[in-house]
Chain A
Amino acid sequence: MIDSLRGQNLLDLGDLSREAIVEVLDVAESFVEVNRRTVKKVPALKGRVVASLFFEESTRTRLSFETAAKRLSADVLSLAVASSSVKKGESLRDTIATIDALGIDAVVLRHRSSGAARQVSRYVPHVRVINAGDGLHQHPTQGLLDAFTVRAALSERRGVPAASTGADLFDGLRVLIVGDIMHSRVARSDVDAYTALGAQVHLCAPATLLPTEVATWPVSIEEDFDEALAWADVVGLLRLQHERGSGVFVPSTAEYTLTHGLTLDRARRLKPDALILHPGPMNRGVELDSRVADLPASLVTRQVASGVPVRMAVLFLSVAGTTKEERR
C-alpha cells in the first residue's frame, strides 16, 4: 500500500491508501488556481522530460496529460504510434528502451493490454510510470479526477474549500456506477478511489456486463436501476461500446437504454442534488439522454476540466523531488 505518491509510480489505484489519494486531490486543488491564470505555468518540472506514449487511440486523456506536463514546465516527448516503429513490429520493451535512451524522467502510458504499465515499470525501474489506461485493468487518473470532481462539487455546495475537507465528504456517500463494468478500466479505478475515500459503492448493470466474481468486490450490486435512482448521491455512467451492445453482451443498445439508460424520465426521479458523471466519450441516447448530459447536475465537462490539475498533481508528486541519480 502506497501512503504517498511522492516518487512512486501510479499503476493501479488499488495500491494507494486513503492518505495518498487525499494528498493527490489536495495538491490538485492547489493547481486549479494555476489554470485560471493568464500565464498558466509553474516551473515545478522545469528540465524534466515526460514521455507520452499512447499505444491506443485517445483524445482527451492524451491532451489532458500533455497539457498538465506543459503547465508544470516539463518537456514532453510524444510518441505518435501510427507513425512509429511500433507499426513495424517493434516490441514494447524496445520502444521503451529507445525512448528511455533519449533521457526521460517519466512515461505516461496508454496501452490496450491489461498490465502493460506494470510491465513497463519493470523495464525502466529508474523512470516513473504513470498508467493512462491499460486494457480493462485500470485508469487511475480517471478515478482520481472523478473523486476530485465530486469533492469539488460537494464542497462548493457547503461553501468550504475542498482541500480542507480531506475525505470527509465521501463518508457514507452513495455512489452508483452504471454500465459496462466488466470491460471498464474506469470502473475498476473508480471503485478503488471511492471505496478508499469511504464512499459506499453500488454497481448496476445487466448481469452479462458485471465482472466475474463481483461478489468479492467491495461493492453492493443493484439489480434495479429504477429503485436505486431514489437514493443515489452520485451516478457514474459508463460508456457502452457498440460491439458489446449488438447481441453479444446485451441484445441491443435500444434494450440497454430501456433497462440501464439514464433517460430524462429517470433523471427526473433522481434526488434533486444528485450528481451525474460520465468519463466520456458519451454515446448520447444510449447510456444517457442527450438532455440529461446537459443538465446542471451533469459534471461531464467539469470532469474534463479537473483532468488537468489532477494530472498535474500526479506528475508533480510522482516525478518532482526524485532525480534519476537518486533512483539509480
Chain B
Amino acid sequence: MSDVLVRGGLVVGVDGAERVDVLVRDGVLADRGPSLDAPAGARVVEAGDCWIGPGFVDLHAHLREPGAEAAETIESGARAAAIGGYSLVVAMANTEPAIDSAALVEYVLSRGSRACVEVAVTGAITVGRRGESLAPMAEMAALGVRLFSDDGVGVQDPAVMRRAMLYAGALGVRLGEHCEDERLVAGGSMNEGVLSSRLGLVGRPAMAEELMVLRDIELARWTGAAIHFLHLSTARSLAMVASARREGLDVTSEVAPHHFTLDESACADFDPLFKVHPPLRRAEDVAALREALVRGEVDAVATDHAPHPPESKDLPFDEAPAGVLGLEHAASLTYEALGSEECDPRRFFDLLSRGPARVARVRPEDPRPRHGGHGGALRVGDDANLVVFDPGARWVVDRDELHGRSRNTPYHGRAMRGRVRATIARGVLVVDDGELT
C-alpha cells in the first residue's frame, strides 16, 4: 500500500474548509497541512480546484450478487462505485436468495472484502423478504449489519412491521422501508396522474407511498424504533418526514438522483429505461426534492443503483423491470441539484457521505464491529476513505463507458458538471484521474 499525497485541494471538514495537503499512509489519514512533502514512492494526486472530502457512502445499491450476476456482481458494482467516488457501498438485501441469514451476510461481506471499495450489507427484515416472519436480525447484527430492509417492496402488514420495529429497536439497528402500498400500486408502472391517464398505463399513485410513510411514522412513534425512509419521491412524503424529525422521532431519509433530476414526462415515449419504483413523479415533486436537498432536510442521497441486463430491460413498459443505474452519476447530479457553482461543499459532502454514514453508523467515532470509518471529519488518524471531486469538470454520460456490468442509465448523452477525480478507499488510491487504477 503506497503512500498517497493529495495536493492543493480544498479539504471540506464539518465546520469549514481549508486548503491543505493530505497524506495517506497505512490506511489512515496520516497528516494534513500546507505544503506537505511527498514521501519517496508516494502517489501524488494534484487536486488544485478540487474538493477533498470523506469518501461517499451509498446506502442503497443493488449489487445483484448472489443470484443475478449477469446484471452486476459485488466486484463490478464496487468498480462503478469507486468511479462514482464511493468508498463504501451498502449492498441491498433483495438478492436471490435474499440476505436474510448470517450465512448470506458472511457471503456478501466475504465477496466484498476482495472488492476495490468497502462493502457493507443490508439484511432483510423478513424471511425471504416475504413480509411474514422476522428474519434473524440478531445474528446478522452480530456481524455488523446495522440497516435492515425488504426493499423492492415494503413490509405490507402493519402487524409485522410493528413487531420488526420492536425487535430492531431492542437490537439498536435501523429499519429501511420501501414505502409503497402494494395493493394501491398493483399493476402500475409509472406515476399515476395526467400522463398515465393519457398513456393508458396503470399508475402507481403518490398516495401509495405517502400512506406508508404516514403509517411507519406512527408505528415508529408507537414503538420508539429508528426508521430510515428509502428513496422518498413526493413533496408530501418529505414534509411528513421533516415534521416527524422536528418532533424528535428517530427518522432518517434518503432521496435518489433519478427522483430529483427526472420527472414523469420522461415516460411519455414508453421507454422502459425510465421505469423505476417508486416512479418518477411530477415536476413539482422534483422541485420539492431539490429544495429539501438544499435545505438539508434529507439525510442522504442514495443511488438505488439497479442494474438490469439489456434483454430484461428492453421489454414493453409494463413488463420491464424497474430500476436505473446510479453509482457513476450520483455525485455530479447532486452537485447540479445543489446549484452547481452555488453548491455548498459542506452540504454536498453531508448528503453523499456524512449523512449516509450516520444512517449506516459507520462514522469513525461509532462502534464498528466490522467496517472502517466513513463520513468523517478528515482528522489526522481517521481511516483514509476520501474522495477528490472536481467541481469544474464537464463531461457527457456515455453508456458504453460505464464500469459496471449493465448499461441501463437514463442519462446517456446528458451533459454533466462536476466529476470525481480520485477515490481513496481503505487507504488505497482506487481511482486516479477519473480512471480505475
Residue ranges of A at the interface with B (Cβ–Cβ < 8 Å) = 14, 91-93, 111-116, 118-119, 134-138, 185, 188, 211-214, 216-217
Some 28 contacts from A to B, beta carbons below 8 A apart, are A14-B198, A91-B315, A93-B314, A112-B316, A113-B316, A113-B317, A114-B199, A114-B200, A114-B316, A115-B201, A115-B269, A115-B316, A115-B318, A116-B270, A116-B316, A118-B270, A119-B317, A135-B318, A136-B200, A185-B200, A188-B198, A212-B193, A212-B196, A212-B197, A213-B194, A213-B197, A214-B197, A217-B197
Residues of B within 8 A of A216 (CB): 194, 197
Contact with A along B307-318 (1 / 0, CB 8 A): 000010011111
Interface pair A135/B314, CB less than 8 Å apart: no
Interface pair A113/B194, CB less than 8 Å apart: no
* B77 at interface by CB-CB < 8 Å: no
Residues of A within 8 A of B317 (CB): 113-115, 119
Q: In the bound complex, how far is the Cα of B203 from the Cα of A217, in angstroms? A: 17
Interface pair A113/B314, CB less than 8 Å apart: no
Contact partner of B200 (CB less than 8 A), chosen from A91, A92, A135, is A135
Asked if A114 meets B314 with Cβ closer than 8 Å, knowing A137-B199, A137-B200, A213-B193, the reply is: no
Task: Name the CB-closest residue of A to B320.
Answer: A113
Q: In the bound complex, how far is the Cα of B199 from the Cα of A196, in angstroms? A: 18
Q: In the bound complex, how far is the Cα of B202 from the Cα of A112, in angstroms? A: 13
Interface pair B196/A115, CB less than 8 Å apart: no
Q: In the bound complex, how far is the Cα of B316 from the Cα of A112, in angstroms? A: 9
Interface pair B197/A119, CB less than 8 Å apart: no
* B21 at interface by CB-CB < 8 Å: no
Residue ranges of B at the interface with A (Cβ–Cβ < 8 Å) = 192-194, 196-203, 205, 269-271, 311, 314-319
Additional pairs, 6, CB under 8 Å, beyond known A92-B315, A114-B317, A135-B201: A115-B270, A119-B271, A119-B317, A136-B202, A185-B200, A213-B193
Task: Name the CB-closest residue of A to B269.
Answer: A118
**Least Cβ–Cβ distance between B412 and chain A, in angstroms:** 14
Residues of A within 8 A of B196 (CB): 212
Q: In the bound complex, how far is the Cα of B41 from the Cα of A116, in angstroms? A: 59
Q: In the bound complex, how far is the Cα of B194 from the Cα of A188, in angstroms? A: 13
Q: In the bound complex, how far is the Cα of B194 from the Cα of A123, in angstroms? A: 27
**Least Cβ–Cβ distance between B313 and chain A, in angstroms:** 11
Residues of A within 8 A of B270 (CB): 114-116, 118-119
Task: Name the CB-closest residue of A to B193.
Answer: A213
Task: Name the CB-closest residue of B to A135.
Answer: B200
Q: In the bound complex, how far is the Cα of B313 from the Cα of A91, in angstroms? A: 11
